[in-house]
Structure 1
Amino acid sequence: MPDSPRRRRLVARAALLLLGLGAVTGGCGESSAQTTLTVLAASSTREVLRELGVAYQREHRDVQVRFSFGGSQEMAGRLSQHDAGDVLVSADESTLNEVNERLTGRHRVIAHNAMTIVVRPGNPRRIHGLRDLTRPGLRVALGASTVPAGRYARKIFAGAGVTVRSSSEEISVRAVLDRVRTGEADAGLVYITDLKSAGVAASSVPIPALENVTATYAAAAVKESRNEKEAASFVSWLASPVARELFNKYGFVTPAQ
């Protein structure tokens, strides 16, 4: 088609339409930009929080939830770093109290747990209760005294009047579980919910209710978070009916409303 005023007008019009379409597309991209929330969480919440994150994103399309798991004390320690995270989830309230100046709002209790004795499949060392953990030569892995699992374990031992010498002290409860699963320890104290994650790789010896403790999980938004509003919203949602149902699914007990 020879060049003509009419052809030039058509080309110019098409170019303007394409520019307009690009502007609209760019605008849509900006409006659909997601907020990324970083949640620092106790290792014992790994499975349930991952599913909770999926459920939350399903309800809040503009938010993406990213998790970092480890010992509660380790996660709290990261708050000294700039822009380390938006939400802290701990396996006890004491850890939150220790970093209270870096948190905002009230801590929200989101779940409860209890402890059990984890042993190798089939319980080859014939461990039947807390007092058996005092036997000479028995390798017992415990959480370090600075982490919730370790503090809970020592509280249980004190209440039962037994002295247990540990073969190793771990920075998280999942590390205790791994010691037993790999045969590096004969027994350890972990949360009841941890046994679900172990599957057939570990067995459990129950601790009687009168000798057990209640582990309290709590969450709070980080004060210097770039996403403080969204973080506070996520913490509140962790007490929602949807969240409570998922906590229960993984063996946690949720607080009365």
Structure 2
Amino acid sequence: MATLRNYSLLLIPIILIAGSALTGCGREKGEPLFVYCGTSFSKPIKEIGEKFKEKTGAEIEYSFAGCETIFPQILLTRKGDICIVHDPFADMLKEKGVLEEDRVVGRITPVLIVPKGNPKGIKSLEDLARPGIRVALGDPRFQTCAQYVHQKLKEKGIEEAVRKNIVYETKTHQELGNAVKLGTADVSVVWNFIAVLNSDSLDGIWMKEKFPETKIHVCLLNFSKNRDLARKFLEFASSKEGIEIFKRDGYI
């Protein structure tokens, strides 16, 4: 795999989705739990957050962004209680000394996505180099999945041929899924959960290539000011109930 870029330079403003004011139920200070979450995991985490609120009365304030953005945010602000990221960012947080504990709740891997019925007959990465195939890919400057894909294309000697077919490049997997759904592109490569969540309009195609195992981690930050509540969230998200939510949404 290509060397990961220095994400500590990617200081993009935090996008906050704030919860409403706390009712104080089950809380000592009435402060919301602050959770950083990779955008790829927003659906299951929102559901887990709602169930956690039902159980504890706790409000949750979210910061959704790419894992590549969350990492420098945490180091810069030293604020927050929980973060949900994929590999290799949990290890990077450990190396920086800000991670107290983490638990694996699922896994993701790159897959091809095509319109339902696969009208172009796409079966492999090599097909992305076929003349006339419109390709949507993630931007490798901001996407781990895209870094994996470009490395494989380079190894196969078809990276330049595929580049000529790229009609759309973006940061997020959701936007890549939409590009194929709306007919802007014939094919894309995304984390597998996109194929699961859009199975009514997209077909996912597993590839023969082996990619690095990419685990999803729920992490407790060691500067959390809501340590007891944060640990309860960590335990709930990694419980059988929490993992089933991830699994149902395609995070195998």
Q: Normalised by the size of structure 1, how large is the TM-score?
A: 0.72
Distance 1:175 1:54, change over 3 A: same
Is the 1:156–1:211 Cα contact (8 Å) retained in structure 2?
A: no
CA contact (8 A) 1:70 1:172 kept: no
Deviation at 1:161, TM superposition (A): 6.3
| C-alpha separation in 2, matches of 1:152 and 1:134 | 17
Q: CA deviation at 1:132?
A: 0.3
Q: Paired residue for 1:106?
A: 101
After superposition, the CA RMSD in angstroms is: 2.9
Answering whether residue 139 of structure 2 is matched by residue 144 of structure 1, we say yes
Q: Deviations over 1:124-157 (max 9, x none)?
A: 3321221101123423222222322223323554
Partner amino acid, structure 1, of 2:68:
Q
Q: How does 1:54-133 map to 2 (within 5 A)?
A: 54-61=50-57, 63-80=58-75, 82=77, 85-92=80-87, 94-100=88-94, 101=96, 103-133=98-128
Cα shift at 1:54: 2.1
For this pair of structures, how many residues does the alignment match? 222
Change in 2 beyond 3 A, CA 1:157/1:235: farther
Q: 2:41 aligns with which of 34, 45, 52?
A: 45
**Residue segments in structure 1 that go unaligned for 5+ positions in a row:** 1-28
Q: 2:93–2:99: 8 Å Cα contact kept in structure 1?
A: no
Residues 122 and 98 of structure 1: is their aligned pair in 2 closer, same or farther, counting only changes over 3 Å?
same
Higher helix share: 1
Q: Which residue number corresponds to residue 223 of structure 2?
A: 224
User: With structure 2 as the length reference, what TM-score do the two structures score?
Assistant: 0.73
Identity among equivalent positions (%) equals 21
Decide which structure has the larger Cα Rg and report it: 1
Where structure 2 has 5 or more consecutive residues not aligned to the other structure, the ranges are 1-22
